[in-house]
Amino acid sequence: MKQQRMRGASVPRTARLTVGVLVVAAGALLGNGGPALADPAPPVAPAPADAAQQDDGCTVNQLLPYANCRWSRLYGLRLFYGADLHGIDLESSVLPRAELPGVIFGVTEGGGWSARLGSVNFSAADLSEAKMVGVTAWGVDLQRANLTKADLTGADLSYARMTEANLTDATLTRADLRDATLTGANLTRAQLADADLSGKDLTGTTLTGANLTGAILKGANLTGANLSGVDLSGKDLTGTTLSGANLTGATLKGANLTGAQLVGADLSGKDLTGTTLTGTTLTGANLSGKDLSGKDLTGTILSGANLTRAQLVGADLSRADLTGKDRSGADLTDANLTGARIENADARVTNFTRATLEGTNFHGTNLVLATLTGARLDTLTNFDGADLGWTIWIDGHHCTATSKGRCS
């Protein structure tokens, strides 16, 4: 009678759970790299097996779709290519240098939930070709991570740290990048269509061949960025910093560069048709031979810029800064230079015919053989220290070779 009761005794719940975990783990090992059982319907709220799992995270064998693995510590984790972890909750876990190529974190073709990866440490991890569509990854650490060909479509990457991450050929279409850090990241040929990069610090990033269709770049910092071959035509680049950027082969036609910073930019071979340059900083820029006729360059800073043989016919350069460097041979016929500064510049053979020079400062400028026929001056126009040798004066007569400060 005693033996019968022992055989019929119920198995403790903890033992049943242990057996269940072993069965699922065995199925995962014997199958094609994933659970042998059919993927269950998404639970309303994933729950840990017990309190210990919730506090201490998961072991490798517990990494399954929809598992609650928050706070896991899995240093140097290695999973097979294409491991399915969609719907898993890894928030605040630490997985630096993990090898997770092709891992599935996002929504699968069969539906379900995307993984929760908020504040996960993936620094220096291999996530190449990872499927991360729609994942919630706010504050995730992806510094120096390899995300080559990863699909991050619609992912929440707000506050993510992606400094020096490799995102070559990655898809970031409609990704939420609010307050994300991307300095030094490699975004070569990345898909950034409709991405909001406004105000983003993109210093030193590589965007060669990137797709920026519909992307917002207003106020972004692209100092020293590699933008070779990038199509920026028609873009609103108001307040954007492009100083020291590589613009080889980039297109700027019709772009709005109001208040933008293009210090040292080489624009000599660029088509600037329809481009807005009002208040733009072009210090040290190369604009030699460019046709900027009729443009509104009010308040534009062109100090040290190369304007050799540039066409500025009818341009509005009121309050512009044209101090220093070479302006020789430039055509400023009918230009408005009211209140402009052209101090200590080389303006030899420059054409100022009928230009408005009221309040213009030519202090120390070389105006040898320049033409001022019909130009409008006023009492504030300053020629102190200017070299006016052989300059054609406003009334059409030639100044003497030794004219200095005034035409004689």
Per the CB < 8 A criterion, the answer to whether 282 and 261 are in contact is no
Longest dimension (CA), the chain: 133
Contact assessment for residue 371 and residue 353, using Cβ atoms and an 8 Å cutoff: yes
Residue 109, pLDDT score = 67
Predicted confidence at residue 6, as pLDDT, reads 37
Closest alpha carbon to 342 in 356, 322, 358: 322
**Secondary structure of residue 16 in the 3-state scheme:** helix
51: exposed, middle or buried (Cβ count in 10 Å: 0-12, 13-18, 19+) = exposed
- The phi-psi region of residue 132 (left if phi > 0; otherwise alpha if psi is between -120 and 50; otherwise beta) is alpha
Determine the Cα angle at 266 with ends 207 and 211, to 5°: 20
41 to each of 66, 111, 112, 115, 349, how far by Cα in Å? 10, 9, 7, 15, 80
What pLDDT was estimated at residue 107? 78
Token pair for 253:
């036609």
**Model's pTM, two decimal places?**
0.79
Q: Return d(Cα 294, Cα 11) in angstroms, integer.
A: 89
95 and 115 Cβ atoms separated by less than 8 Å = no
Q: Which helix (H) or strand (E) holds 30?
A: helix 13-30
Tokens of 231: 């199509």
The list of the chain residues with pLDDT below 50 reads: 1-55
Q: What is the pLDDT, as a whole number, of residue 56?
A: 65
Instruction: State the DSSP code for 31.
Output: S
Here the tokens at position 233 are 């035509």
What's the one-letter identity of residue 181?
T
